[in-house]
Homo-oligomer: A and B are copies of this chain.
Amino acid sequence: MLSKNDIKLIKSLKYKKQRYLHKMFVVEGKKSVSEFINSKFDLHKLFSINISEFSINNVIQVSQDDLKKISFLSNPDDHLAIFKIPNEKPLNKNNLLVGLESINDPGNLGTIIRTCEWFGVNDIVCSLDSVDCYNPKVVQSAMGSLSRINITYLDLTNFLKSESLNKFGTFINGESVYENKISTDNGIIVFGNEANGISNNLRLLLDVELTIPRFNNKSYPESLNLSNSLGIILSEFSRKSNEKKNL
Contacts of A215 in B (CB 8 A): 118-120, 238, 242
The contact of A117 among B115, B221, B227, by CB within 8 Å, is B221
> Is A41 interfacial (CB-CB < 8 Å)?
no
Which chain B residues border A216 with CB–CB below 8 Å? 117-120
Return chain B residues, CB-CB under 8 Å to A222: 143
Interface string of A223-247 (1 = CB under 8 A from B): 0110111011001101100100000
A104 to chain B, nearest CB (A): 13
- For A221, what are the chain B residues with a Cβ–Cβ distance below 8 Å? 114, 117-118, 143-145
Closest to A232 in B: B235
Q: Which residues of B contact A228 (CB under 8 A)?
A: 111, 115, 227-228, 231
- A140 → chain B, closest Cβ, in Å? 12
Which residues of the other chain, B, contact A120 by a CB distance below 8 angstroms?
214-217
Residues of B within 8 A of A144 (CB): 220-221
Is A212 at the interface (CB under 8 A from chain B)? yes
CA gap between A217 and B122 in the complex, in Å: 12
Q: Is A148 on the interface with B (CB-CB < 8 A)?
A: yes
Provide 20 A-B residue pairs closer than 8 Å at the C-beta atoms, listed in order of the A residue: A35-B220, A107-B107, A114-B224, A114-B225, A115-B224, A115-B225, A117-B221, A118-B214, A118-B215, A118-B224, A119-B215, A143-B222, A144-B220, A145-B220, A145-B221, A215-B242, A224-B231, A231-B232, A232-B232, A236-B239
A-B contacts besides A117-B216, A118-B221, A143-B221, 20 pairs, CB < 8 Å? A35-B220, A107-B107, A115-B224, A115-B225, A117-B218, A118-B214, A118-B216, A119-B216, A120-B214, A120-B216, A120-B217, A143-B222, A145-B220, A148-B218, A224-B231, A227-B227, A228-B228, A232-B232, A232-B235, A235-B236
Binding site for B on A (CB under 8 A): 35, 107, 111, 114-115, 117-120, 141, 143-145, 148, 178, 212, 214-218, 220-222, 224-225, 227-229, 231-232, 235-236, 238-239, 242
CB-based closest 4 A-B pairs: A228-B231, A120-B216, A215-B238, A120-B215
